[in-house]
Chains A and B, each alone.
Chain A
């Protein structure tokens, strides 16, 4: 039952924000309350999961269900969604002129619908419906990417919608071929859990072909190189709270769909299939590591770091070959939390300095101590410095790889991570410290933005040092649902 309430709340709030109230603040507050409720409900359903088996919703159990992995993704989406809604209050209030209340209401309507589509991806269990939900995450966020209405943001929105729709069409081919394979092997429910048990009976050529289409199609959405070109554009041009959602969790939902294939391909006689994960993953990590050295725009810096993380998670999935994937699952969580936090800091920085160029931001810590400290924490966290969660995830992946004797892969991965580490910290360091560049009194941060920075920093800082037992249990369950 909780499942439906979770999906219903954003829909209701989206409807509410269409009411032409005189002041759009109502829809902003409703969005915050709604997102908080969704987060609390997700937390409850996460606590309710205590076995490896998926729990279906009443009546519609073959359409909606959750297991460890989907609850983890749900939890991340709802947390980042809540933080982003809080940040939006101050950010949109500051950047959109007072006399454009219509535009603000439109923003919140789209924000809630976008959130709804992302919540639906992990909750749906029918593969074809998941495809539709992923496609909707694109379509419902296009106008959020182009929200600023500048030529640059419209260009970003165009690239975003065209490339990801192309990817979706390829993924649809994969879905259909998988369904065909399923019906050849005797048919049955087209759900993740049924496919997991029945996949050995499907002729391998169908699983292989479907998998390649899935990887290329949803990989476009997750920003895997060479289909990543839209990602830095879209993730740098959207308003910052939307960037946090796009970069932190939208990419994760796409990757989630690819990872769902892992139990199916892990058991195939041609285990060369997991090599696809390794190759695509390593290329993504390598290319993004070199690209992020030379960025001029700090939001693009974080966007490239997202591509890097997606690559690392994919490598981890490839290494596991359908067994232990704790590293990958842990990194999914760490990425979503740290990356969204980075984009909140970037948004705060944009409000304070009014520029997106790395070169014109100096001495941020003197201009606005809170923003400076947040940026430093965020930078350290995504670069993978100890003791942050990303570091622990990467460390456990490297250890798992070494234990399997994959020295070549791990060697290359370590070098690329090292390059990205230096690149990110060099740029962040330049922005945070040094002599303050623009004289004059900077505008103070809106209270809600400051509050978001504090709230979002808590898990980023804490999870590297201490993981609560219940969360640890959930992570293990999530890894379990990726194994066979």
Chain B
């Protein structure tokens, strides 16, 4: 059981790396769906292990909101963007940025180490560092990607990372909170998606990294 969960964790980090470095927008979105599926799978594994119906519901929420609804929504709102046949603009070239991402993963392990020694548990040992790495890699993706949709996927990866840690360390959080958090992620996707469309209409580009009218001289 733990080994299966570890596999999910490893694949989860891999998808986060993909969000940092993948060159096609549509591919990045597919990776995000895969990532959400892995999150749901890990929740199910933990649910079986703790015999908790609660975690199954969390898995269900994740599947509906993140693996189905958000991709469908982005597809509706930004289908033109998604099918653009171009490479995503990056602030750094891909090998460098993947190297830095690997460094961040190591940092994530160091960050959570004092917490792990205080509370040893085989599942938390996997989920917490992996989730933390997801949060950091997502933040890094936002910083290094220069286009709107890849930046949004970076934010969603951060949320996924926090959830990945959360299902192990805070598995008995009230269900209402889980629902509200999922709703919140949904609103992020709606708001940022609509904003992207409006920027594309008004400014004519989704290269948000290029927008630098507002700054101090």
A126-B177, A169-B162 given; A151·B114 CB < 8 A: no
Contact between chains at A172 and B162 (CB < 8 Å): yes
**CB pair B138 A169 closer than 8 Å:** yes
Size category, B interface: 35 or more
Q: Once the chains are docked, how many angstroms separate the CA of A388 from the CA of B197?
A: 45
In contact, B187 and A136 (Cβ under 8 angstroms): yes
Closest A residue to B111 using CB positions:
A209
Which of B118, B142, B184 is in CB contact (< 8 Å) with A205?
B118
Tell yes or no: A161 within 8 A of B by CB: yes
User: A176–B139 contact, CB under 8 A?
Assistant: no
Contacts of B173 in A (CB 8 A): 128, 176, 179, 190
Query: Roughly how many angstroms separate A183 CA and B172 CA in the complex, as a whole number?
Result: 9
Chain A residues 174 to 210 lying within 8 A of chain B, measured CB to CB, are 176-177, 179-180, 183-184, 190, 203, 205-206, 209
Q: Output the nearest chain A residue to B192 by Cβ-Cβ distance.
A: A161
CA distance A151 to B166 in the complex (A): 38
Q: Say yes or no: A132 contacts B135, CB within 8 Å.
A: no
Specify the main secondary structure of chain B where it touches its partner.
Answer: helix
Do residues B170 and A170 form an inter-chain contact, with CB atoms below 8 A? no
- Asked if B216 and A291 make an inter-chain contact with CB atoms under 8 angstroms apart, the answer reads yes
Tell me if B191 counts as interface (CB < 8 A to partner A): yes
19 of the cross-chain contacts (CB-CB < 8 Å) are A139-B184, A143-B195, A151-B203, A155-B208, A155-B212, A161-B195, A162-B208, A166-B138, A169-B138, A169-B161, A170-B158, A173-B131, A176-B165, A176-B166, A177-B169, A180-B169, A206-B115, A209-B114, A294-B217
Chain A residues whose C-beta falls within 8 Å of the C-beta of B192 in the assembled complex: 161-162, 165
> Interface readout for A144-179 with B: 1 if CB under 8 Å, 0 if not?
001001111011111101100110011011001101
The answer to the question of B89 belonging to the interface, with a C-beta cut-off of 8 Å to chain A, is no
* CB contact between A129 and one of B131, B162, B180, B217 (< 8 Å): that residue: B180
Indicate if the CB atoms of A173 and B195 lie closer than 8 Å.
no
Q: Is B181 an interface residue (CB 8 A)?
A: yes
CA distance in complex: A255, B216 (Å):
25
B154 CB to closest chain A CB, in angstroms?
A: 8
**Contact call A158/B214, Cβ cutoff below 8 A:** no
Residue B5 CB within 8 A of the other chain: no
Among the interface residues A132, A135, A146, A154, which one has the most CB atoms of the partner chain B within 10 A? A154
> B202 contacts A151, CB within 8 Å?
yes
A203→B120 CA distance, assembly (Å)? 14
A70 proximal to B (CB < 8 A): no
Residues 166-203 of B, flagged 1 when their CB comes within 8 A of A and 0 if not, give 10011011100100110010011001101100110011
Contact with A along B94-128 (1 / 0, CB 8 A): 00000000000000000100110011000000000
Q: Is the CB of A154 within 8 A of B148?
A: no
Do B184 and A132 touch across chains, with their CB atoms under 8 A apart? yes
Are B181 and A128 in touch, CB under 8 angstroms?
yes
Supposing A161-B191, A162-B151, A205-B118 touch, asked if A151 and B198 sit within 8 A by C-beta, the answer is no
B170 touches A179 (CB 8 A): yes
Write the chain A residue with the least CB distance to B148. Answer: A158
Which of B118, B165, B180 lies in contact with A132, CB distance below 8 A?
A: B180
In whole angstroms, what is the CA distance A128 to B169 when docked? 14
Residue pair A154, B203 in contact (C-beta under 8 Å): yes
Q: What's the nearest-Cβ distance from chain B to residue A336, in Å?
A: 25
Across the interface, B169 reaches (CB within 8 A) one of A161, A162, A176, A236, namely: A176
Contact of A179 among B169, B202, B211, B217 (CB under 8 A): B169
Decide: A173 near B162, CB < 8 A? Known: A136-B187, A156-B214. yes
A136 to chain B, nearest CB (A): 7
